[in-house]
Chain A
Amino acid sequence: MPLIGQLALALALVLACYSIVANVIGARAGVPTLITSARHALWAMSAMVTVAVGVMWASLLHSDFSLEYVASYTSYSLPTVYKITALWGGQQGSLMFWTWLLSIFTAIVAFQNRRRNADSAPYALAVLAGLAVFFLYMLNFVTRPFDLLAAIPADGQDLNPLLQNYWMAIHPPSLYTGYVSASVPFAFGAASLITGRTDDSWIRSTRRWAIFSWFFLTLGNLFGARWAYEVLGWGGYWAWDPVENAAFMPWLVMTAYLHSVMIQERKDMLKVWNLVLIGMAFALTLFGTFITRSGVISSVHSFTQSGLGPYFLTFLIAVVVLYTGLLLMRVKSLRTPAEFESYLSREAAFLFNNLILVGIAFAVFWGTLFPVLSEAVRGIKITVGPPFFNKVNAPLALALVFLMGVGPLIAWRRSSLDSLAKTFASPAIFALATGLCTFLAGLRQWYVLTALSLAAFVIGTIVVEFRRGVSARRHLVHETPVVALANLVAKNNRRYGGYIIHVGVVLAFVGIVASSFFRTEVKKSVKEGESFQVGPYDLEYLGIDTTETAHLESSRARVEVRRAGRPIAMMEPAKLFYKQPQQPATAVAIRSTPASDLYVVLAGIDDQTGLVTFQVFLTPLVFWLWAGGFIMAFGTVVAMWPNVRERAAIAAAVRVAVPAGAEPVPGGD
């Protein structure tokens, strides 16, 4: 079996190399059969990588400890679901998983473009195949997933207990999907530079891929934060750890890109900038992998540090240099006469939105790398942690939220002060009143007051926009409010999906601000039957239940939660002890409500005195971070939903030199 896997990876490498050559020669010499052959090679490559992944999954599920990878990351007693997720629990497996996603996306792109984008698709596919070659080279020659052990162990070493969690089962696949799918718009951007076709067809062709990537980057970050919240047991969800930062930066740049392309689509401006952004987003995904793999910066999330850093760094530099070279080569033809009338316009709002988003990405990048820089210059490795990132990014976040309110309502081209006042009067009043009311309610932190006022402002602008759209439809086509709302969203799903995403961002922002400023922590040692208070809650420790399975031992405390004397919940925080890696872990208990989360950690058990120590966090409004995240995801689905009118527009934009006898295929991606 392992031989089949290794052979499949070797064949995939050969096919990827062939595809590059065939695509490039076919496109340059105008030989359609060669291009078709290259496409078939990519499908075959995808099939080969799928075979390799299948072999690995079969080996993991059958506990084939003759394979070094299986022995290193699983054990007989590991639950089946984690045997499946062990594919991305270790280095070789996660690289193979990455390659698999890349090969699948490449195969889909090859299929989508078999009859369109005839001039650029071969180059885009060659770029994607080039990326696959790098990863397949690594899997064939540097970090081989199918290496065998000389002596087969009696049992495996098991998966890191921190990775044995539901959120960790879905966090890496989401993040990887986001990372890898960003390579599609990148490849088409590079192809547009190679072919010199500098209109916006590459953006239109890959718009849905870009949103798809953003969607999964959002989910990946969200699931990662939730994993940290549930598993690391410190009551927080984001520590500005280098690996977290590495996942956050592509999300920021991709967000900037999704806004910026609207200007190009609408006004044919910012061509160079959009190509820079997609290049930057893709490079940051590689940078993220470099950070995770290299161990150059210590991280709580680096489970698979290795000597792969130099390979990734070399590849990253090569990609950046080649792409920058292409961009410089075409920069003259990308410059088109731009029309910009006023700073009081949507174009300006989007420009500043880009500035802030890229500014935050730079601040995060800078803070992440500064310890390395400090060590190189001064010989002292310092720490750049949460206080730095919070202080630097806090004002930028406020500016971004403000622009999120302004951007969608301000007119293209230019606005007069009068019309601005008219448009923003209600949201501004709502914002001021919210600030005033929260002040009168007793809040005094200026940042919190400003943040809540701005959040209210954005919600106000979105409500105004929905109300206007609904009343326009009611006036024109005489629909009921509910039908008008449904049709409004359905027929303009990109725009209104975007607004739903903004609602999600604002709710998440409120959750982040509230949970950062107002968390209460109580640490208490109690005996059975004793109670202690946390905010409005009384917690009574009722005792401990101990259980044991072949996989782990668990000591689970029972804590009754009462409010105003009335029992409202039974919480069961636990201490776990995994047998195979001989490692303790904590299972927190969380009672989540829209108002606050009660988060209980079983911190210690003293068998001699009978004292049990609990660490309890009461975090207000953190629920809205997760709710906001899922609203963002829902809004993205709405924005991505196929729209007949838009598909026709895309088909018109990308219709080029269709090969004789072939039918053009309408539709986006």
Chain B
Amino acid sequence: MPPVPRRRVVGAAVLALVSAVAVATPLMVAAAPTVSVEQLTEALTCQCGCGLTVANCNHPNCEFSVPVRDQIDSMVKRGMSGPQVIAFYRTKYGEKILSAPTTQGFNLLAWIMPFAALAAGAALIAITVGRWRGSSPAPAPAPAEGANGASHDPFDAELRRRLERELRDRI
């Protein structure tokens, strides 16, 4: 790997620092990240018909989500764990109250399929590329990428002059 110019390193680091401060400050000001009560209310679907989670139900005086949020808050304060809270509601309302499929039995399929499809897609790409490489002629010398994917390979002087002339005509 060729040495990276020092000026470039310093420039990138300063830029990174400025961007990081600009991004991180509002995040830190916005206080603590997701608390467990919010995670739990996010894990349950509101039963008022809004179609959203208990955390996100958009009915300010919802008869379901408002008391459930308060109930979960007091459960957590009483020391109940997350799984216990979820189990409580699951027993009471059935599986439909969970906002995501469980990871057991048939529901496991929900979680596996997207990644299985992705793996199948990757395998298909690998097979197809393998065929392409097998059928394509011997590769020419590799060009090195530069601006706009242009080559950095050493040209002879005449070729470079011609390239520049043509570029000038085009741009």
Contact string against B for A residues 382-426, beta-carbon threshold 8 Å, 1 for contact and 0 otherwise: 111111100110001000000000000111111111111111011
Residue of A nearest to B2 (CB): A422
Determine whether A239 belongs to the interface, using a CB cutoff of 8 Å to chain B: yes
Instruction: Point out the residue from A383, A423, A429, A603 that lies within 8 Å of B61, measured CB to CB.
Output: A603
Determine whether the beta carbon of B56 is less than 8 Å from that of A234.
yes
Determine whether the beta carbon of B110 is less than 8 Å from that of A366.
yes
Determine whether the beta carbon of B129 is less than 8 Å from that of A430.
no
Instruction: Point out the residue from A341, A351, A362, A472 that lies within 8 Å of B136, measured CB to CB.
Output: A341
Instruction: Point out the residue from B8, B30, B32 that lies within 8 Å of A596, measured CB to CB.
Output: B30
Determine whether the beta carbon of A355 is less than 8 Å from that of B106.
no
Please, which residues of chain A bring their CB within 8 A of the CB of B106?
A: 374, 377-378
Please, which residues of chain B bring their CB within 8 A of the CB of A63?
A: none
Instruction: Point out the residue from B100, B129, B145 that lies within 8 Å of A423, measured CB to CB.
Output: B145
Give min CB distance, B73 to chain A, whole Å. 11
Residue of B nearest to A233 (CB): B58
Determine whether B157 belongs to the interface, using a CB cutoff of 8 Å to chain A: no
Contact string against B for A residues 449-468, beta-carbon threshold 8 Å, 1 for contact and 0 otherwise: 00010001001100001001
Determine whether the beta carbon of A595 is less than 8 Å from that of B13.
no
Alpha-carbon distance A371/B98, docked complex (angstroms): 12
Determine whether the beta carbon of A476 is less than 8 Å from that of B167.
yes
Please, which residues of chain B bring their CB within 8 A of the CB of A613?
A: 60
Alpha-carbon distance A236/B51, docked complex (angstroms): 14
Contact string against A for B residues 68-94, beta-carbon threshold 8 Å, 1 for contact and 0 otherwise: 000000000000000000000000001
Instruction: Point out the residue from B23, B99, B136 that lies within 8 Å of A386, measured CB to CB.
Output: B99
Contacts A429-B9, A438-B23, A443-B24: A359 and B30 contacting too (C-beta < 8 A)?
Answer: no
Instruction: Point out the residue from B26, B114, B136 that lies within 8 Å of A620, measured CB to CB.
Output: B26
Give min CB distance, B16 to chain A, whole Å. 3
Residue of A nearest to B31 (CB): A520
Instruction: Point out the residue from B16, B97, B115, B146 that lies within 8 Å of A430, measured CB to CB.
Output: B16
> What is the total number of residues of chain A having a CB less than 8 Å from a CB of chain B?
116
> What is the total number of residues of chain B having a CB less than 8 Å from a CB of chain A?
82
Determine whether the beta carbon of A429 is less than 8 Å from that of B132.
no
List the interface of chain A (C-beta within 8 A of B).
Answer: 232-236, 239, 241, 269, 298-300, 337-343, 346, 348, 351-352, 355-356, 358-359, 362-363, 366-367, 370, 374, 377-378, 380-388, 391-392, 396, 409-423, 425-427, 429-434, 436-438, 441-443, 445, 448, 452, 456, 459-460, 465, 468-469, 471-473, 476-477, 487, 491-492, 495, 510, 514, 517-521, 535-536, 586, 595-596, 601-604, 613, 615, 618-621
List the interface of chain B (C-beta within 8 A of A).
Answer: 1-2, 4, 8-9, 11-13, 15-17, 19-21, 23-34, 38, 42-43, 45, 49-53, 56-58, 60-61, 94-101, 106-107, 109-111, 113-115, 117-118, 121-122, 125, 129, 132-133, 135-137, 139-140, 142-149, 152, 164, 167-168, 171
Give the 8 A-B residue pairs with the shortest CB-CB distance, closest first: A433-B16, A411-B145, A437-B20, A468-B147, A385-B99, A363-B114, A441-B24, A603-B60
